[in-house]
Each structure stands twice: as structure tokens, then as C-alpha cells.
């Protein structure tokens, strides 16, 4: 039987998003591989978490690309981005809590690229007079990440319905960042 690294990472992400403290044995079981096989490819938990960090960067960049955040109205672009992020919100919530990932040289460049694109979207909205000027683009990005992560956790825990999560994130984020027209 061949080892499907991508599938193992997806299965590990799904489990760790629900149970961040799952053991390597539990991860192997969830991925349908033996403990020995998992350890051969990911000898320690930190190696697995680093691979998950790389997968997270890839998924977020796919969300950014699919949302076409550089195109059109910034408000519509924020809504598109949130909609694209919802299917991976729980996994992003797991990554958001893995502080060790943000200090690693191999992932820092990816998170920096992502941050720059998101901040540019918020800057564009400010330049067009749509978003509040007193909230920095960096802060708006952090608020976006935190709300997407929180929605993933809330869906996972059954506190909100998955079908409502994107709308709730959009309404709360945009409601706080749009400039008042009065």
C-alpha cells in the first residue's frame, strides 16, 4: 500500500482541528496508517505540525486566489475571501493556535506573503474610503484571521451552523470596519 502524504496530512488536520492534543498514535489511526508508517514519514509531532503549517499556507493561498481579492470592490472581495475560507476554517483555527509555526523560517515567508495580500486588500478599501482609517490594515487582517478561526471552532462545537458561519463572520467584521456614511 502506498503512502498518500497529502491524504494523511488532511486526515491529521481534521483530527487535530477537533482535538489539538491528539497523540501520534491517534493521528495514525485517524489517517488509516500504522504508527510505524506515520513515524517513518513524520518522526516527531513537530515535524508533522510543520508539514501541516505548509499545508495551511497552501490552502490559504488557494483561498486568496479563488476569492480574487485583488479584483473589484474591496467589500465584495472580503466577502468572497471569507466564503472561500469557511471550508477550511476549523483547520485554520488549529493552525492559528500553533504559535510555533509563525517563528519557523520555512513558514515565515508564506505567512508574510499571505499577510501582505490581505493587508493590501484592507489598504485598498481604506484608500477608496470604504474602510475605517483608524484601524490599521494589519489589525484588520488579524481580526479576519481570529474571526475565521473562531467560526471554525464554533461550528465544530455545534454553537453555530456551518451554513451560517461565513455570513456571521462577514457581518461582524464588515460591521466593525466599514466607514459610517452619516
User: Looking at residue 13, which CATH number applies to its domain?
Assistant: 1.10.10
Of residues 149 and 100, more confidence is placed in: 149
Q: pLDDT-derived band of residue 10, with 50, 70 and 90 as boundaries?
A: confident
Do both 26 and 53 map to the same domain? no
The pLDDT tens digits for 58-75 are 999 999 999 999 999 999
Query: Residue 137's pLDDT is what?
Result: 97
The pLDDT tens digits for 28-45 are 999 999 999 999 999 998
Q: Does residue 121 lie in a domain region? A: yes
Do both 132 and 60 map to the same domain? yes
Helix or strand (DSSP H, E) at 10: helix 5-18
Quote the pTM value.
0.86
What is the total count of domains within the chain?
2
Do both 65 and 28 map to the same domain? no
Closest CA to 170 of 98, 62, 67, 96: 67
Of residues 80 and 110, more confidence is placed in: 80
Query: Residue 79's pLDDT is what?
Result: 97
Match 513524520 to its residue by C-alpha cell. 42
Which residues, including other chains, have CB under 8 Å from residue 24's CB and lie 6 or more apart?
35, 38, 39, 42, 45, 48
Helix, strand and coil in the chain, % to nearest 5: 75, 0, 20
Selection from 40-54, 115-129, 149-163 with the highest mean pLDDT: 115-129
Detail the DSSP E strand segments found in the chain: none
Do both 9 and 70 map to the same domain? no
pLDDT higher than threshold 70 for residue 102: no
Q: Rounded distance, CA 60 to CA 112, Å?
A: 12
Closest CA to 91 of 39, 155, 160: 155
Q: What mean pLDDT do residues 150-159 have? A: 90
- 79: how many CB neighbours lie within 10 A of its CB? 19
Q: What mean pLDDT do residues 153-169 have? A: 93
Query: Residue 20's pLDDT is what?
Result: 80
Query: Residue 58's pLDDT is what?
Result: 92
Amino acid at each position: 500500500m502506498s503512502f498518500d502524504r497529502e491524504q494523511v496530512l488532511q486526515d491529521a488536520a481534521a483530527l487535530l482541528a477537533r482535538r489539538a492534543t491528539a497523540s501520534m498514535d491517534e493521528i495514525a489511526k485517524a489517517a488509516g496508517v500504522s504508527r510505524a508508517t506515520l513515524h517513518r514519514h513524520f518522526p516527531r509531532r513537530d515535524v508533522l505540525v510543520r508539514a501541516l503549517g505548509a499545508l495551511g499556507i497552501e490552502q490559504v493561498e488557494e483561498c486568496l486566489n479563488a476569492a480574487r481579492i485583488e479584483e473589484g470592490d474591496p467589500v465584495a472581495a472580503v466577502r468572497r475571501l471569507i466564503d472561500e475560507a469557511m471550508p477550511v476554517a476549523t483547520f485554520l483555527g488549529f493552525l492559528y493556535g500553533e504559535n510555533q509555526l509563525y517563528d519557523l523560517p520555512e513558514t515565515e515567508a508564506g505567512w508574510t506573503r499571505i499577510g501582505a495580500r490581505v493587508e493590501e486588500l484592507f489598504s485598498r478599501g481604506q484608500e477608496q474610503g470604504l474602510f475605517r482609517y483608524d484601524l490599521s490594515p494589519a489589525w484588520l487582517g488579524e481580526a479576519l484571521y481570529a474571526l475565521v478561526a473562531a467560526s471554525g471552532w464554533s461550528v465544530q462545537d455545534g454553537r453555530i451552523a456551518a451554513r451560517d458561519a461565513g455570513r456571521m463572520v462577514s457581518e461582524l467584521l464588515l460591521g466593525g470596519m466599514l466607514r459610517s456614511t452619516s
